[in-house]
Amino acid sequence: MKRVSLKKRFRVKNIFVFVVLVYLGFQMLSLGFLLDLKDVKGVAKYYLENDIKDTQSANVVTSIVVNYRGFDTLGEVTVLFLAATGLGAILSGYRKVKKQKILANTMLQYGSKPLLAIIILFGAYIFIHGHLSPGGGFQGGTVIATGFLLMLLALEGYEIKHGYIKWTESLAGLTFVTVGLFGLFLLGSFLADFLPLGKVGNLFSSGVIPIIYVAVGFKVGSELTGLLDNMMGVVE
């Protein structure tokens, strides 16, 4: 009897797992498409029924995060800022090794710079289109931070200008608060939608939601990039 090699059995096992995951994924999608609105109750039902009428946003999650519970989102961004500040204070007693021996291959070193531009563009696309497609400020900002993480890992001695990060983060946070205060003064509630809603599906639609998500994207990207840079090459 012919023995099957360990490598071949491992390959067959991976293919089987992949097929099962794809099948389960399609099953979950089909269940989502078959969801009846009558089965949804309470606040969730209000969101699903009134999202387009209230915000003209194609992404219901975006409407909830930025519009219906936008003040809570401001709190989440504040928590992220405090976490970044706290980590920076903890690492202030440590010194960074300036010359690190990075074992990155030549392809990664030369490919990281053009990839950074593409990653930043992709991250910006995610938070600019957060009201039209899945994604938003937190996701887009995280994608941008991964681009700078790639640079830190690929290039020896690469340094991030923290002055630019601080200015970007501060302006993004100020934009968020300013838009919220405009809604408070004009319509009586913080983050109230005082801009034209436009038509669902258009880029310039959903009132203040795209502006807030752009601000959140820049703020999250700046904070995470600063965190990653602070943690690179730190020793006692």
The CA distance from 188 to 25, in Å, is 44
The dihedral through the CA atoms of 32, 35, 39, 43 has a sign that is positive
Comparing CA positions, the residue from 157, 152, 161 lying closest to residue 100 is 157
Cα 231–Cα 233–Cα 235 angle in degrees, nearest 5? 95
Going residue by residue through the chain, which has 236 residues, state the pLDDT in tens, using 9 for 90 and above.
445 455 556 566 667 777 777 776 666 555 554 555 666 777 888 888 888 888 888 888 888 888 888 888 888 888 888 887 887 777 766 655 554 555 667 777 888 888 999 999 999 999 999 888 888 888 999 999 999 998 888 887 788 887 888 899 889 989 988 998 998 899 888 888 888 888 988 988 898 999 998 999 999 999 899 888 877 765 55
> In the chain, what is the greatest distance between 2 CA atoms, to the nearest angstrom?
82
What is the DSSP secondary structure assignment for residue 67, as one 8-state letter?
A: I
Beta carbons of 191 and 162 less than 8 angstroms apart? no
- Count CB-CB contacts under 10 A for residue 45: 13
H or E segment and range at residue 234: strand 234-235
Question: DSSP 3-state assignment of 96?
Answer: strand
Tokens representing residue 34 in the block: 């078959």
The CA distance from 230 to 145, in Å, is 13
The CA distance from 134 to 188, in Å, is 30
User: Which own/partner contact pairs does 200-204 have at CB distance under 8 Å and 24+ positions apart?
Assistant: 200/52, 200/56, 200/57, 200/58, 201/58, 201/132, 203/128, 203/129, 203/132
What angle do the packed helices 137-154 and 209-231 form, to 10 degrees?
30
pLDDT at 11: 64
pLDDT at 189: 82
pLDDT at 190: 83
Burial bucket for residue 5 (CB in 10 Å: 0-12, 13-18, 19+): exposed
Tokens representing residue 150 in the block: 């790639």
